Amino acid sequence: MATHTIFSYRKNIVLGIIISVAFVFVVRLFYMQVIDDSWKEKAITNAMRRKVTPAPRGVIYDRNGEKLVDNENSYDLYVIPRMVKEIDTLKLCQILGIDTADFNQRMLKARVFSPYAPSVFMKRITPEMYASFSELSFHFKGFGVYMRTIRKYHTHSAAHLLGYIAEVNDREMSNDSYYAMGDYIGKSGLERFYEPELRGQKGVNWVLVDQYGRERESYKNGMYDTAAIPGLSLYSSIDKKLQEYGEKLMEGKRGSIVAIEPSTGEILALVTSPSYDPSLLVGSERGANYMMLQNDSINKPLFNRALMAQYPPGSTFKLVNALVFQQAGAVDLNTRYSCYRGYAYGNRKLGCHSHASPLDITGSVQNSCNAWYCHGLVAMLDGRKKYHSTEEAYRDWYRMVTQLGFGKKFDSDLPYELTGFIPTAEYYDKYYGKGSWKATTIISISIGQGEICATPMQLANLVSIIANRGYYYKPHVVKAIGNKDSLNPRFTNRIESGIDQKYFAPVILGMQRAVTAGTARRASVPGYTVCAKTGTAQNPHGQDHSLLVCFAPAEHPKIAISVIVENGGFGATWAAPIASLMLEQYLNGKVERADYEATIVGRQIYYAR
């Protein structure tokens, strides 16, 4: 009896264990098949392959509808190692221009990635390689080609403005789930700023595969496939011919040209020199070419001088002070200052060239008198007509200067723009001590020297403000997105400079006279009334920089320009004739002064290495 009881007890325990295990399996199966979708997804993944189709990037046009950038086909050779059997290795190596050691190394890398899944064997094979491979593809079982699009440039210019694309890195993939390994993304210029618009939307095709990873057929006849959606086109404000001509003028020189349409803020040309052919950063040699450009520490072709170089503006900044002094009530139309070859203060003197004296506002611009602006700064900061202290006056000066676009970014559609530098009152308090500085302490700012720095873009915007008699639109490159008639709303707001319109007249007249009978004669253009101001910016590292800002025609201006030629000496030497030729090219559509053009084109400036 006891034995039978013990046996029954053990049988019940074993039966209970079996029932418990069975229950666990049933619950687990129920969970896997009904509740948890991950196993279903894994099963589907094993049976199907998700093939992504890259979207063609949007086309970029110039203001006249000419293509600047579009796309052309590119081919990546892929391999599924498990399917590679008895292929003609030597023939494939011959087509691809590699040796067997390179072939074996690539195959090993692919096997490590996955024996069954496709992986890239060689990126961006040439069209000739693709044609040869396609003709003999039956000899290369396990190999295939992915087709994608890469950028094709219709100009050898505007590299910094257009930017370039390259493969995404880990940081970019982690920041945006849209991207996967091997995708391309805009790295600079318009390609970077308008990446969301240009990239489009990838397409997806679902393909059934067998246990060896071989593609069999489309899943449910493509019911769940989605087509790639091309990126939106960009309609830029750039004048292709003007851009190319500007780069031609700047060959052999360092510096920049920025041209803006004053009435809209649209950038007509953005030239930085030295530059490079944008097609260098496309195709299989992109990486090597990028390193070549990056390692050129002498010319720095990747450096965008138009947006990132920060120069003392020199005498072009006198236009700013002429407006600010009037707005502050420090000078008026009757104010005349004498010049005795400079401005003496204490035992020092800030020199000036010989010219008529005394001068009013218009004459000071026409003759670029240093002494006039020194007197004006002293009258504003230390005159006590309106302000109780030098610091109070300076803070108002700073406010008006920054309202004219200096010392800050425009927040335009061009990345990597720098701010330049306009010192604050706190800056001088820290350097000289609070209450220990006055106008003569910082007298150099009256003529655009000292601590002041500006970018070429800021100087072009300054003359746009003057051309408009007091307002501007943010400088920008893209007029419309997707539809050429749909204006980019980001840049349609008019920005007031804070300077009353009446104060622009004497300054504009002075700029006009500077061209007809002053320091900017070489900026003239036959048939047009040009307004200009030269500048010669001191350079502690060598010869002075040559600057000029201008706009034309005087009434109803169509174009405003800043030109900076590093180590070019006087503004009239290099910057003025370059600006004159740019004006003629844009206003007339061609340059007829061949002799004048010959004084600039092909001529180089020697730069010490």
Taking only the tens place, the pLDDT of each residue in 173-192 is 999 999 988 788 999 999 99
Answer whether residue 156 shows pLDDT above 60: yes
Could you tell me the CATH number of the domain that includes residue 346? Answer: 3.40.710.10
Answer whether residue 1 shows pLDDT above 70: no
In a domain, 35, yes or no: no
**Mean pLDDT value of segment 519-544:** 92
Residue 170: CB atoms within 10 A of its CB come to 8
**Mean pLDDT value of segment 442-462:** 97
User: Do 336 and 226 have their domain in common?
Assistant: no
In a domain, 44, yes or no: no
User: Do 418 and 506 have their domain in common?
Assistant: yes
**Mean pLDDT value of segment 435-441:** 96
Integer Cα distance of 352 and 420 in angstroms: 26
CB burial of residue 298 (10 Å; 0-12, 13-18, 19+)? exposed
Among 75, 125, 120, 74, smallest CA distance to 98 is for 125
User: Do 71 and 136 have their domain in common?
Assistant: yes
**What pLDDT, on a 0 to 100 scale, did the predictor assign at position 471?**
98
User: Do 266 and 154 have their domain in common?
Assistant: no
High-pLDDT (> 70) share of the chain, %: 92
Task: Calculate the dihedral angle through the C-alpha atoms of 453, 457, 461, 464, rounding to the nearest 10 degrees.
Answer: 130
**What pLDDT, on a 0 to 100 scale, did the predictor assign at position 553?**
98
Domain hosting residue 373, numbered range: 240-277+303-598
User: Do 408 and 511 have their domain in common?
Assistant: yes
User: Do 71 and 116 have their domain in common?
Assistant: yes
Answer whether residue 42 shows pLDDT above 60: no
Answer whether residue 264 shows pLDDT above 70: yes
**Mean pLDDT value of segment 538-548:** 86
Give 210's contacts (C-beta < 8 A, 6+ positions apart).
Answer: 216
Answer whether residue 39 shows pLDDT above 80: no
> Does the CA dihedral 538-540-545-551 come out positive or negative?
negative
In a domain, 178, yes or no: yes
Integer Cα distance of 496 and 498 in angstroms: 6
Answer whether residue 211 shows pLDDT above 80: no
Could you tell me the CATH number of the domain that includes residue 82? Answer: 3.90.1310.10
User: Do 226 and 134 have their domain in common?
Assistant: yes
Among 274, 242, 271, 245, smallest CA distance to 256 is for 271
What would the two tokens of residue 200 be? 């489009």
Answer whether residue 213 shows pLDDT above 60: no
Position with higher pLDDT, 124 vs 334: 334
Local confidence band at 147 (pLDDT 50, 70, 90 cut-offs): confident
User: Do 163 and 84 have their domain in common?
Assistant: yes
The 10s digit of each residue's pLDDT in 276-325 is: 999 999 877 888 999 999 999 989 999 999 999 999 999 999 999 999 99
In a domain, 606, yes or no: no
User: Do 477 and 351 have their domain in common?
Assistant: yes
In a domain, 580, yes or no: yes
**What pLDDT, on a 0 to 100 scale, did the predictor assign at position 488?**
81
The 10s digit of each residue's pLDDT in 68-90 is: 999 988 888 999 898 888 888 99
**Mean pLDDT value of segment 440-450:** 96
Could you give the number of structural domains in the chain? 2
Residue 381: CB atoms within 10 A of its CB come to 28
User: Do 470 and 593 have their domain in common?
Assistant: yes
The DSSP bridge pattern shows strands 234-236 and 60-61 to be parallel
In a domain, 290, yes or no: no
Between the alpha carbon of residue 186 and those of residues 6, 136, 148, 170, 189, the distances in Å are 79, 35, 16, 15, 8
Give 395's contacts (C-beta < 8 A, 6+ positions apart).
Answer: 425
Local confidence band at 566 (pLDDT 50, 70, 90 cut-offs): very high
In a domain, 295, yes or no: no
- Cis amide linkage into residue 553, ω under 30° from 0: yes
Are the C-beta atoms of residues 51 and 192 closer than 8 Å to each other? no
Least confident of 208-212, 502-506, 552-556, 593-597: 208-212
> Does the CA dihedral 489-491-494-498 come out positive or negative?
positive
> Does the CA dihedral 242-248-251-253 come out positive or negative?
negative
Least confident of 135-144, 206-215, 272-281, 536-545: 206-215
Among 497, 493, 506, smallest CA distance to 462 is for 497
User: Do 408 and 470 have their domain in common?
Assistant: yes
**What pLDDT, on a 0 to 100 scale, did the predictor assign at position 119?**
84
Local confidence band at 31 (pLDDT 50, 70, 90 cut-offs): low
User: Do 181 and 210 have their domain in common?
Assistant: yes
The 10s digit of each residue's pLDDT in 385-426 is: 899 999 999 999 999 999 999 999 998 999 899 999 999 999
Answer whether residue 384 shows pLDDT above 90: no
**What pLDDT, on a 0 to 100 scale, did the predictor assign at position 22?**
74
Position with higher pLDDT, 204 vs 269: 269
In a domain, 40, yes or no: no
Local confidence band at 53 (pLDDT 50, 70, 90 cut-offs): confident
**What pLDDT, on a 0 to 100 scale, did the predictor assign at position 83?**
85
Answer whether residue 37 shows pLDDT above 60: no
Integer Cα distance of 208 and 219 in angstroms: 6
Integer Cα distance of 96 and 90 in angstroms: 10
